[in-house]
Structure 1
Amino acid sequence: MHPGKTLEVNEKAYKMKLYLDKQNRRIRVDDYLGDLLSILEKAEKITENEKADKIIIKGRKEHFIQLLERGYRFEASIDGYFLGSDCFFFSKFLTDERKISTHWTEEDGIIKSVYHLNGPSQSIAPPKAYILKKMGESDAAGLSKLYKSVFQIYPTPLDNPDYIVKTMQDGTVYYGFINDGQVVSAASAEVNLFYKNAELTDCATLKEHRKHGLMKILLERIEQELVENGIYCAYSIARALSFGMNAVLYQLGYAYRGRLVNNVFIYDKIENMNVWVKDLASPPKFRQ
């Protein structure tokens, strides 16, 4: 299993940075500058060459209508993603199959249920046997074992310790809980230093350890570290079918911002993913 690759295109009228994601059969335009129509044409050509069936554009607010005009569909947004300016996810599907979502109403029900929960609340310390730790390269094998146990398939090769070490070297921060010498819960933050944002991701807890609220504590600790480093835009992309993960994010004060259709192969199939955002500079808004 191999991660995708980043491609930079520099032409006279435009520049863009793409992510070619073979495993998930999609192309993502992560950044762009210049003539939007030329950018879209080039991105679509690359998508066809790569035999991908979904294009995602991290669009700017000023291009919202233009992207709709060109057949792109608005799916979700992230407040403050580009140094305080909002990011809008637009997608185009190249096959009907990729566009059809069979769990949409069930996922709507999950969001509805999540919003009936109590809002931001204090986390409760887990039993003493659980040790919270910032993960280093020596923990890569333990982390990969955890990810292998929780997910049959995952959008990135986290079952490979070498890949985890590489992400650490590239600036991804991992925190985890150790119990009886084993990594039983972990999460990470993929930090974008240029645009000052971070994606909270790679959240996994072994089934038998899920009753202690470990994930909430890990994410709070990661948020603390982000704020210490001047990163205030935090977001997370959770499986739309996972009540637990969506509930954790809501109870941490994240706001729902949309759903990415058939976005990645995760858990055991291709799935829709919910986007949640939080401004770490604002105090938590407690539910009345």
Structure 2
Amino acid sequence: MTSDAMKAITQQTLGGPDVLETVRVPIPRPGDGEVLVRVAATSINAADWKLRSGVVTRLGPPPLTLGFDLSGVVTEVGAGVTEFAPGDEVFGNIVSRNGAYAEYVVVPGEFLTRKPVEIDHVHAAALPTAALTAWQALTEVQPGQRVLVHAAAGGVGHLAVQMAKARGAYVIGTARAANHEFLRGLGADELIDYTTTDFTTAVADVDIAFDLVGGDYSERSLLVLTPNGRVIDAQGEEPLADPRYYRLYFHPSGADLAEVAALVVAGRLRGEIDRVMSLADIAEAHKLSESGRVRGKIVLTPWTD
């Protein structure tokens, strides 16, 4: 690998989508246990625009290059990496100030797994953060349990519906009526239009409620649980003082992602792509994601020039 420059999206300040800009920076080099990947596709998660705007400060102050998800081709491996070699197609996560909104990204090898040949880079890039969030939230789901998924048509929600069904659960989702047919096709057993119905009046005896909305949804979800039920919150900033409440923070894991990939290969899990856009149009892509009107994921592919 030479010291050639690459394109990347960076921001020098917190703010709206217009703070995102394309720059040229040196191609990074992998350290011990790391892998350099040529990015074929990445995708947008809600955390991206929350970090961009300063709502979430997990990565610290700018400058930042966002992007948690990636699918691409290994071009170089660091010392101690034996499971991957140049030319391997991989996908996974990177939680870093130097993320995947770039032509190349350095990733710890343990955060990656091999991309199944059954899916392309676009579909692989849509999965990692959303799929691992759902996977790690639903590890305790048992057959016959009632699982409530809020924002069921979103990037995490539509995967959570499928994973809960794969574990034998009865799945209830909250979503706009326009998305009900889509969710029934993914296996949802019962659907609630949150724009017209308060879910606390429409459902009860829930074993696991998965909050992907935030606000007061977790607190209200406590009202519909069984005595031993649990609320798993992937959005809230203020934890609730209730033993049935759990705040989930996903963690990158190539091992977990390999299990997700096995579900994909078996035909039991599919990621919905709302649209594919270029990193050249990153500001527009963030505006769309932030609108909350996206079904599944927005996937970003590198610049064409």
- Give the TM-score normalised by the residue count of structure 2: 0.26
Q: Name whichever structure is richer in helix by fraction.
A: 1
- Give the TM-score normalised by the residue count of structure 1: 0.27
